[in-house]
Each structure stands twice: as C-alpha cells, then as structure tokens.
Amino acid sequence: MAYLSNPTYTKAVLEAHGFSFQKKYGQNFLIDGNVLNSIIDAAGITKDDFVLEIGPGIGTMTQRLCEEAREVVAVEIDKTLIPILDDTLSTYKNWSVINQDILKVDINKLALEKNGGKPIKVVANLPYYITTPIIMGLFESHVPLESITIMIQKEVADRMQEGPGSKEYGALSLAVQYYSKPEIVCEVPPSCFMPQPKVSSTVITLKCHNNPPVECDEKLLFQIIRASFNQRRKTLQNGLSNGLHYSKEQIAEAIEKAGFSPTIRGEALSLEEFAKLTNVLKEL
C-alpha cells in the first residue's frame, strides 16, 4: 500500500539511504496525500493504462500509479534514487525504471513497445527549470498521448491557459492549446514539498486533442509563432521579417490578405488567427 506521502516516512526513507538533495535536478518531493490523490484522480488511471512517470523521486507517486495502472515506467535522471526506488517499490511487480534524462529517451519507441503505439498517459512532478523543454518535447515529437497530468510552477500553468493580449501569453500558451485542452486541477503551496520550493505550484491536466483545433502547416505555424514572440515589442510584420525565410514584401502581403493591421503585434493574435496567417503565407 502507498505510504510515502506521509512526511515522516519520506524522512525515514531518505535517512535510511543517506540521500542528499541535488539542486541541479530541482528535487522537491511531494509529502501531501490529498494533493497526491488529486493528481491520481485527475489523470484518470485505469488497469488498462500504461503510464509514463517523469521524475519519480523516491516513488511517492509511483506507488499509487502502480496500484491503479496496468504498467508504469518511471524515468529518473538521478542514479542515487534508483536503489531507493528498488526499496520503496519492492512490493509492486508492474513497474520499471529508466535511469536517463527524459529528453534523451525515445518515448515513441517506449509507447510502441509497452502500449502497442496506442496513446499513453504521462504523469509527473516536473522540475521547474526543465518544464517547458519536456512538455514541448512530448508534443513536438508526436508521442501518442492521451493526457499529461503534471505538477508545475504556478506561473507556467497560468501561461498555458492565457489568451491574446495578456503579457503572459506566448509561444507556450499557443503550443499547449494547439496540442491539448489545459485544465487546472489544484494549486499547491510550498509546504506540501520536501524541501519547500520558493514558489507555489499547480497541478494541471493537458487532455490531448485527437486532431488539432486548426488546420494548417504545423511546422510553418510554429515558425511564425516563435518569430512573433522572439521580440515581443516589434510589430508582427517586423518580427516575421527577421525570423522567416520570406521577403518583407511577402510578409506584408500575407498580413494584409489575412485581414490584419500592418502594425499589429503577435501577442494580439489567437491560435485561429495564427493558423489563418499560416495558410495565407503558405500560398504565396
């Protein structure tokens, strides 16, 4: 039975193994059972599911995942945590661990081997410093995904839901909304972790689209989005002129044909409007 969300047990396990937190890995272990339950409930894990967990730590969430899922593969970069996982997960038979950087793992291959290429569920308490690269890596590599349920910095979760006109709105907001529907599960104060982070966290579920909500050339769409937000203070026209392999005249023509003002900035466009511009530019 899962027991590690109790801080007393967490301390005992860490002391028994002589574990030292490593700042470079952004390690903050969850010690609140209610938050853990919220994550598991939001992920909607069933006995049919293969689950990929990123950053299992000492196995707090892994224990619960093993109880709910058909199979769990945990990816952990810190080799000193592997013997601890072997200990805390010793009573479970449906798990394995990959001691590697998640950004270097071939998740498409893993999904094929473990789930027949069908969509998988990802659950994670992500280190703040690497949240965006992990999420974008999952999306851009077109891993078959059903959902991603993650604990991340509150500020990043807020950015994922923002719309046009907000200063927090940007490339991450558009990418998350292109690939999924973000839903906030709960906010989590620093006191729910060991050691306590300096910022608040949020649990968010990204329910992945079977098909994107807009139709356009995906590669060009994100080239346009990135160029639009690389220099936020510039107009859309100037930003795209610096960031795309189109002439200034072509970009000006596309913006006009799409029905936008020549002085509009990228942060004012919705996902649908970026898609419209992509389709116009593609035809030039």
Q: Spell out the residues 6+ positions from residue 152 whose beta carbon is closer than 8 angstroms to its own.
A: 126, 128, 131, 201, 202, 204
Confidence category of residue 284, pLDDT binned at 50, 70, 90: confident
| 55 labeled binding residue | yes
Amino acid identity, position 45: I
Chain centroid to CA 94: how far?
Answer: 24
| 94 labeled binding residue | no
Other C-beta atoms lying within 10 Å of the C-beta of residue 119: 15
Each residue of 188-212: pLDDT tens digit? 999 999 999 999 999 999 999 999 9
Distance CA 98, CA 77 (A): 8
Contact indicator for 273, 259 with CB cutoff of 8 Å: no
Instruction: Quote the pTM value.
Output: 0.94
| 6 labeled binding residue | no
Q: What are phi and psi of 167, to 5 degrees?
A: -70, -20
Q: What topology is assigned to 5-206 in CATH? A: Rossmann fold (3.40.50)
Mean pLDDT of the chain: 95
| 116 labeled binding residue | no
Class of domain 216-281: mainly alpha
| 30 labeled binding residue | yes
In the chain, ranges of CATH 3.40.50.150 domains: 5-206
Each residue of 123-178: pLDDT tens digit? 999 988 899 999 999 999 999 999 999 999 999 999 999 999 888 999 999 999 99
| 162 labeled binding residue | no
HSE at residue 247, side-chain half, CA atoms within 13 A, is 4
The whole-number pLDDT of residue 151 equals 97
In the chain, ranges of CATH 1.10.8.100 domains: 216-281
